[in-house]
Amino acid sequence: MKLFYAVVEYGGFRPAAQRLGLSASTVSDVVRRLEESLGLRLLNRSTRGVMPTEAGRRLLLGLKPAFEMIDQTVSGLHDDAEQPAGPLRLTVPAIVARYVLPQLLPGFLNACPDVHVEVMVDNAVVDIIDGGFDAAIRYEERVAADMVAVPIGPRQQRYVAAAAPEYLASRERPEHPKDLSNHRLIGHRMDNGTMVAWEFEQGRRVIRVTPDGPLVSSSVELRVAAAVAGVGLIYTFEDVLRVQLEVGTLSPVLEPWWQSFPGPVLCYHGDRHVPAPLRAFLAYIQAIG
Question: Domain segments of the chain: what residues?
Answer: 2-78, 84-155+263-288, 156-261
Q: What is the sign, positive or negative, of the torsion defined by CA atoms of 275, 276, 281, 282? A: positive
Rounded percentage of the chain residues whose pLDDT exceeds 70:
94
Tell which wins on pLDDT, 82 or 61: 61
Fold of 84-155+263-288: D-Maltodextrin-Binding Protein; domain 2 (3.40.190)
* Neighbouring C-beta atoms of residue 103, cutoff 10 Å: 18
| Distance between CA atoms of residues 14 and 20, nearest Å | 10
Band (171; pLDDT cuts 50, 70, 90):
very high
| Distance between CA atoms of residues 164 and 264, nearest Å | 29
Q: Which CATH number applies to 2-78?
A: 1.10.10.10
Tell me whether residue 196 is exposed, middle or buried, using C-beta atoms within 10 angstroms of its C-beta: 0 to 12, 13 to 18, 19 or more. middle
Does position 163 have pLDDT exceeding 70, yes or no? yes
- Does 156-261 match 84-155+263-288 at the fold level? yes
Band (254; pLDDT cuts 50, 70, 90):
very high
Does position 77 have pLDDT exceeding 60, yes or no? no
* Neighbouring C-beta atoms of residue 197, cutoff 10 Å: 13
Q: Are 239 and 210 in contact (CB under 8 A)?
A: no
Task: Work out the mean pLDDT of the chain and round it to a whole number.
Answer: 90
Does position 169 have pLDDT exceeding 70, yes or no? yes
Residue 287, SS3? helix
| Distance between CA atoms of residues 151 and 132, nearest Å | 22
| Distance between CA atoms of residues 171 and 114, nearest Å | 57
The mean pLDDT value for 129-158 works out to: 90
Does position 78 have pLDDT exceeding 70, yes or no? no
The mean pLDDT value for 40-53 works out to: 86
| Distance between CA atoms of residues 93 and 122, nearest Å | 5
Question: Largest alpha-carbon pair distance within the chain?
Answer: 67
Q: Are 7 and 43 in contact (CB under 8 A)?
A: yes
Q: Are 138 and 279 in contact (CB under 8 A)?
A: no
* pLDDT at site 193: 87
Tell which wins on pLDDT, 85 or 270: 85
CA distances from 79 to 35, 74, 111 (A): 36, 10, 12
Look up the CATH architecture of domain 156-261.
Answer: 3-Layer(aba) Sandwich (3.40)
